Structure 1
Amino acid sequence: MGELIVVRHGQTEWSLSGRHAGRTDVPLTAAGEAAAAALAPKLARRSLVAVFSSPLGRALRTAELAGLTGVEPDPDLVEWDYGGYEGLTAAQIERTRPGWDLWRDGVVPGDAAHPGEHLDQVAARTDAALARIRPLLADGDVAVVAHGHLARILTVRWLGLAPSAARLLGHPHPGTLGFLTTENGHPVVSAWNVP
């Protein structure tokens, strides 16, 4: 069985400043582009049978710079819709909602472009993506280019855990890789935050 390689898109101005970038399509910084390109040698050594990406530009550009070809945009891999918290940092949110925790408290509705999603809705999207990906792993590795919170939720769903267990994973750094596989028939994380 192949490995599921989870690629977090490269750095953006918003990821650098800690702003929540869900559906807002923020471009990569120069450092983000360099980090994405640095992934190419590692990914070139893999036998990829499929590549899926969030349809947002920062993920598609990361895939391109990382040398991935045949990329299929998948709307189920777009980042969590942060609703009214789109563009805000955790510190800004906590000023109006002391003690706020994304995994426990979720988001508030936003405008028409950012209505917001419940954690279970994001998990349902990752479950749908995983249902399409798992059969492909019989033939080799599959790469997914996505976002920080989405990658964490996808990973815990791979492990068969509740979506809120994503709080237990460190946030993947921009332009890094995670590797999901099985060991003795059980899903495992074989590596996380690999530059």
Structure 2
Amino acid sequence: MPTRIVLVRHAQSVPPRLGAPDYDQRPLTAAGLAAAESLVSRLVGFSPVAVLSSPQSRAVQTVAPTAAALGLAVTTWPELREWESGLLPSADWETRYAYSWAHPGLAHGAGESLDALTVRAGKALARMADEHPGATVLVGSHGTFASRALIAAGRHADWESCRAMPMPAIYEVSTS
């Protein structure tokens, strides 16, 4: 029986500081916190047996209200973190990301390539299936991670769909 994985891209977060490394504790905005609360009834309807998340605060904060409503803890997995692009936040980030999507094997400095992120996402999906066979798992995540997880699950995602992804967004994949 397949495992159903409900990927939730985090709600609106405080923007990263331009020219400085992004930081894991970057939180949701007030609007993002309200959006996370508004997701509860929809996400509870999936009846997840576990709530997993990237360790980055904005992802945890997005699924925490649902976990609380279900009486579940949010368990963080480092492999669910956002793409470690090797790029500093900048005003021209969209151009740099588009280039990376066009060249997914390219790694910037010490960062990971999008191909490597797809492998990491695929391994995370497989781990979820191993640990929760036949169940539903709720996952707090990020836009680029979710896009590459969709690819790892055999679904379509590209730069345009990643760029257009709302905050928050919900995607379902099944794995066996």
Answer whether TM exceeds 0.5 for this pair.
yes
Distance (Å, rounded) in 1 between the aligned partners of 2:93 and 2:157: 22
Residue of structure 1 in register with 2:81 after alignment: 78
- Structure 1: runs of 5 or more not aligned: 110-114, 186-195
Matched residue type, 1:152 = S
Q: Is the 8 A contact 2:11 2:62 kept in 1?
A: yes
TM-score by structure 2 length? Answer: 0.79
Give per-residue Cα distances to partners, 1:114-155, cap 9 Å, x unaligned: x31112221221122111112455432111111000000001
Matched residue type, 1:86 = L
Residue of structure 1 in register with 2:90 after alignment: 88
C-alpha RMSD of matched pairs (Å): 3.1
Higher relative contact order (CA 8 A, sep 6+): 2
Following TM superposition, by how much is the alpha carbon of 1:168 offset from its aligned partner in structure 2, in angstroms?
Answer: 6.3
What does 1:1-195 align with in structure 2 at a 5 Å threshold? 1-14=2-15, 24-25=23-24, 26-67=26-67, 69-83=72-86, 85-89=87-91, 91=92, 94=95, 101-105=99-103, 106=106, 108-109=108-109, 115-136=110-131, 138-159=133-154, 166-167=157-158, 170-171=161-162, 172-181=165-174
- Structure 2: runs of 5 or more not aligned: none
Matched residue type, 1:72 = T
Q: Is the 8 A contact 1:50 1:136 kept in 2?
A: no
TM-score by structure 1 length? Answer: 0.72
SS in 1 for 2:137: strand
Cα distance change, pair 169–93 in 1 and its aligned pair in 2 (3 A): closer
